[in-house]
Structure 1
Amino acid sequence: MILFPLCGFAGVFNIDVAFDAGMAEGYKSAFTAAVTFWESNIIDYRVNTGISALSINASVAYIDGQYGILGSAGPDYIAYGYTTLAGDTAASYVCYSTEGSMTFDSADVDMMISNGSWGEVIRHEMAHVIGFGTLWGLDLFGDGTIYNDFYVDGSGEYTGAAGLAAYQAEFDPTATFVPVELGGGSGTADGHWNEVDGGAGLTGITTASGDDMRNELMTGWLNSPSFLSQTTLGQFYDLGYEVIPEPATIMMMASLAAAAFWIRRRISYMA
């Protein structure tokens, strides 16, 4: 991952996808739909970033064969800074994805298209490029300065204010953290919301409408049909994005109230 300082102007949140030359035409429409999905839920940055668009390189290649890892995704370039985000009263260390990549297992794509999960998997992996699970609690320069300081690897406890408020409103009003997955090994652990290992059973943690956390889009194992929780949107607000609904709505709600994914968290440092 390449690093550079934040600078410049505020801009509407945009995603641009570039396809690998080998990408079949029939695969591409789901990426366009995923871009529309995320641009409809994440609308802006909470600080002047100078980022005109998040660029994503998408490809289909062999990973591990059928029914294993469906896709791999993460940021490749990030912008970082110490700044006061809109809505905050104090400055914090933040970082944003500016360019990333998504790779899907060629052995699984046709299966995902036939069972209707292709679009869900793309939305999930695109969220990792934006920063879900990949830009939490990073010591970018090895000096002890933590960027996006609301998760510690191995703790299983996400503590970002907006994400936690949404979780309290949706799932558990007594929660003091959002449970993060610790199973599934490297690439699944510490980068997804928690569920039963392997996605094999209901969690018993449900929304008011009965949606079980097992089916949330950003758990570590695919269970269709998936849904996008306000908890996930609150997490993106914590990461420094403006989201719909506004976080004030999430806070008010809180006061009233089995295939695996793989993520990348590799960082390369510029001298």
Structure 2
Amino acid sequence: MAPSGTLGYAGPCRTRSSNSLPIVGQVVPDSEDMDRIPATTGLLDAVIREIAHVLGFGTLWDGFGLLADPASVTPGADTHFTGAGAIAAFNAAGGASYTGAKVPVDNEEPGPDGHWRESIFRGETMSPVEYTDRSESLSAITIRSPADLGYTVDTALADPYGVSLPDIPPGPPVQAEAGRILHRGDDILRVPIQVVDDEGRVPRVIPPR
């Protein structure tokens, strides 16, 4: 990969026909850009983020009927994740008074539909922007979203986090000083996903979006 681009790509490659959850995924880091990741917790945050994509965060939402109004179909739409667990955690984190559709999902290029919306989730591990001068938080909202896909999760592992509500959705793009932020919105690996049954056969293939 070229330097100063996306830090890496990740996503599922095979899913179970029984529950649509992944059995094989792929993480492709960009060695050209490793020195751009903050030296403290940046690499761990990057690994968590890409593994989350492999497990289905932002990559399987649509197939589970949990992604509403995708901006990849209607640019600028009020894209949102409809999982009940994530919505409850969003409300508990200060989002109860949020007037847009919940939970707000990134609706800006590049690569919309795969992360939380930056204007609301600044400093959260699964937002599309990383600030190089501050640490990130893995919120209960992110941890509960896989439970809406069918995983068992432990919200006791969540970092303290509160959403910010500065904008009326969909909100403007984030502005920051050059060199202080890393854009990672287009870090989803878009490949055909093989659906595998209990006998190891591949009855169908889901084309990349």
The reply to whether TM is greater than 0.5 is yes
3-state SS of 1:214 partner = coil
1:106 aligns with 2:35: no
Tell whether the 8 Å contact from 1:68 to 1:259 is kept in structure 2 after alignment.
no
Instruction: State the distance in 2 between where 1:113 and 1:230 align.
Output: 23
Report the structure, 1 or 2, having the larger strand content. 1
Name 1:226's counterpart in structure 2.
136
User: What is the TM-score with the length of structure 2 in the denominator?
Assistant: 0.69
Instruction: State the distance in 1 between where 2:117 and 2:148 align.
Output: 18
Question: Of the two, which has the highest radius of gyration?
Answer: 1
> Alpha carbons of 1:231 and 1:113: their partners in 2 closer, same or farther (altered >3 Å)?
closer
Instruction: State the distance in 1 between where 2:188 and 2:148 align.
Output: 19
Name 2:172's counterpart in structure 1.
none
Unpaired runs of 5+ in structure 2?
Answer: 72-76, 157-180, 195-201, 204-209
Cα displacement (A) at 1:244: 1.0
Cα displacement (A) at 1:108: 1.2
**Number of aligned residue pairs:** 159
Name 1:70's counterpart in structure 2.
7
Q: 2:143 is matched by which residue type in structure 1?
A: L
Instruction: State the distance in 1 between where 2:130 and 2:80 align.
Output: 21
Aligned CA-pair RMSD: 2.0
1:16-45 Cα shifts (integer Å, max 9, x gaps): xxxxxxxxxxxxxxxxxxxxxxxxxxxxxx
Instruction: State the distance in 2 between where 1:225 and 1:114 align.
Output: 11
Poorly superposed stretches of 4+, deviation over 3 Å: 113-116, 268-271
1:124 aligns with 2:34: no
1:171 to 94, 112, 125: 94
User: What is the TM-score with the length of structure 1 in the denominator?
Assistant: 0.54
Tell whether the 8 Å contact from 2:144 to 2:155 is kept in structure 1 after alignment.
no
Tell whether the 8 Å contact from 2:14 to 2:193 is kept in structure 1 after alignment.
no
Instruction: State the distance in 1 between where 2:52 and 2:193 align.
Output: 21
Instruction: State the distance in 1 between where 2:82 and 2:48 align.
Output: 24
Unpaired runs of 5+ in structure 1?
Answer: 1-62, 82-93, 139-147, 196-202, 206-212, 247-257
